[in-house]
Amino acid sequence: MKPLFSKTALDQAADQVYARMLPTPQLNWPLISARLGTETWVKHENHTPIGAFKVRGGIVYLNDLASRGPCKGIITATRGNHGQSIPFGAAPHGIPVTVYVPKGNSAEKNAAMKGWGADLRVFGDDFEAARQEAMRIGAEQDLHPIAPFHELLVRGVGTYALEFFTAQPDLDVVYAPIGMGSGLCGLITVRDLLGLKTEIVGVVSDRADAYAQSVTAGKIISTKTANTFADGMACRIPMQDPLDIIAKGVSHLVRVTDDQIADAMRHYYTDTHNIAESAGAAALAAALSEKTALAGKKTGLILSGGNVDKDWFQTVLAGKTPKV
């Protein structure tokens, strides 16, 4: 499969990203390594300006959009981190951003989106309903729609993979969560551009496993619900482009439970004193479920974000799993 973008385009994206933020660290935490029984490196995308990897894609996408002339406004839908990245990227260009979220969305992520300048609107019971309404309103009002997956978004977020693989080119395996697929596809594309043999494992929630079902079936399989507290992984209708890349680029997919994710969030806090949101902890949860197979392998974990509401995090630290 032809890569989504070239190494030159990736390097140019990195220059744009670093004009707005510093690279994030990749750290070898001894207690995490001991817990997995092998040398383990964590890529800390919870250390970006919005606390998640998505910011990189917003920067690159909006720079490109602004370079093509005036834009009346942007509209998109999200469960949170994408909805922060777009207004963050749009701010230097003065482009208005409307963001749709579903009912019951993270209160603190909603506040952060508004803080970055988004006009926040609530619609529907899940992401897909919010997305469909956003696209309808966008067409009605002639606003520029931004889908959750686009080559420019993947190119931007792929800069985290460039940092990780440049710093640790001999990783044997890397675990990464799947929401709509941009982060994992960036990881796969950059791995291939650099000519590395690193095994990549995708992670889904067992309560939102549409991508896993779709990879197995070889076609898009949607689920009726995506009721997981890992809101960044709550996908019930995959997109074809990321599905194609994921199906060919991962060694396998792992399903994790909400209880396993909550355990991993606690481990990150006790072992590193970092806050990982639910999707951000999923890679560690998956690696722990395959601990025996990782013996002797240099392992990478993508901590994709740290944006978790206080009430949920208090529940997790109390030894419980939040209910949705």
Contact (CB, 8 A) for 306 and 276:
yes
Please, what is the end-to-end C-alpha distance for the chain in angstroms?
39
CA distance 295 to 134: 46
pLDDT score of 247 more than 80: yes
- pLDDT recorded at residue 127: 85
pLDDT at 220: 97
Assess whether the region 7-52+151-317 and the region 55-146 belong to the same CATH fold.
yes
pTM score over 0.85? yes
Asked whether residue 79 carries a pLDDT value surpassing 90, the answer given is no
Please give the Cα distance from 107 to 263 (Å, whole number).
23
Is the pLDDT assigned to residue 58 strictly greater than 90? yes
What's the pLDDT score for residue 90?
98
Rounded CA-CA distance 67/260 in Å is 44
**Mean pLDDT computed over 78-103:** 96
Asked if residue 279 lies in contact with residue 19, where contact means CB atoms within 8 angstroms, the answer is no
- Looking at domain 55-146, does it have CATH number 3.40.250.10? no
Residue 324: pLDDT above 90?
no
pLDDT over 80 (residue 1): no
Q: What is the CATH number of domain 7-52+151-317?
A: 3.40.50.1100
Beta bridge partners of 213: none
Closest CA to 159 of 12, 304, 1, 276: 12
| pLDDT of 178 over the 80 cut | yes
- Percent pLDDT > 90 in the chain is 94
Residue (of 219, 209, 214, 220) closest to 177 by Cα position: 209
Rg (CA), the chain: 18
Q: According to the model, what pLDDT value does residue 128 have?
A: 87
Alpha helices per DSSP H over 102-209? 107-115, 127-141, 151-167, 182-193
Residue 77 pLDDT greater than 90, yes or no: yes
Round to whole Å and give the CA distance between 150 and 186. 11
Residues 251-279: pLDDT tens digits? 999 999 999 999 999 999 999 999 999 99
Sequence spans of domains, the chain: 7-52+151-317, 55-146
